[in-house]
Amino acid sequence: MRIIDFNHLDFQGFVEGEDILVDTGVLFAFYNPYDAYHSTVKQLFDKHILHNDKNLFLYINPTIVNEITYLASTPLKKYLTSFPDKANDFTNSDIENIEKTITNGIKELIENEVLSILDGDKESVIKQISLYKELGSADAVNASIANLYGISFLTVDKRLAENMFSQGTELPNITNVYYTTGKHRDY
């Protein structure tokens, strides 16, 4: 397993034909203009995913969809925690519009087959149980499914990438874990 900073100057993009599980934080940041990683994820998608000649195969799973739909109504709360003076600039309808943008965006990527759905099996669930303390519950699901299918993993969470790397003997089928660092946050 290699861990690769997708914002590093040497990063030239993904491998042709690469299969990649896209973590919750990446999709959430892509559709949420108030997410601290929005700019860097949008740049990644524009340069290396959406407008790219390489064939890439992107995947999510029901746990990722569950996390996105659960978090979709909260993007402005995090933003306003960092910028409390902006609270009067937003209404409840703004919050609802952002929620719809996020959930409809994910739905559109699934319907247009940009994102395919993967499910786990008995082996991956057993792996998930063995990893939940090291990775966290939801991340253990995602890592175990990526390992099951032998695909790469894309996240904005450097700590998760490092924790997955430290569990490499438990996740031998994951080729690459792509991540970024906090210095690429918008705020």
Could you give the 3-state DSSP secondary structure of residue 94?
helix
More confident residue, 59 or 82: 59
Q: Is the dihedral of CA 180, 183, 184, 187 positive or negative?
A: positive
Interval 148-174 mean pLDDT:
98
Q: What confidence tens digit (pLDDT) does each residue in 105-160 have?
A: 999 999 999 999 999 999 999 999 999 999 999 999 999 999 999 999 999 999 99
Whether the full predicted model's pTM is greater than 0.95, yes or no, is no
**What's the structural domain count of the chain?**
1
- 77 has a pLDDT exceeding 80: no
Q: What confidence tens digit (pLDDT) does each residue in 9-61 have?
A: 999 999 999 999 999 999 999 999 999 999 999 999 999 998 888 899 999 99
CATH code of the domain containing 134: 3.40.50.1010
Q: What is the pLDDT of residue 76?
A: 78
Interval 160-175 mean pLDDT:
98
- Quote the distance between the C-alpha of residue 116 and its chain's center: 14
- 73 has a pLDDT exceeding 90: no
Phi, then psi, of 36 in degrees rounded to 5: -60, -25
Cβ–Cβ under 8 Å, residues 128 and 140: yes
Q: Which domain holds residue 121?
A: 2-184
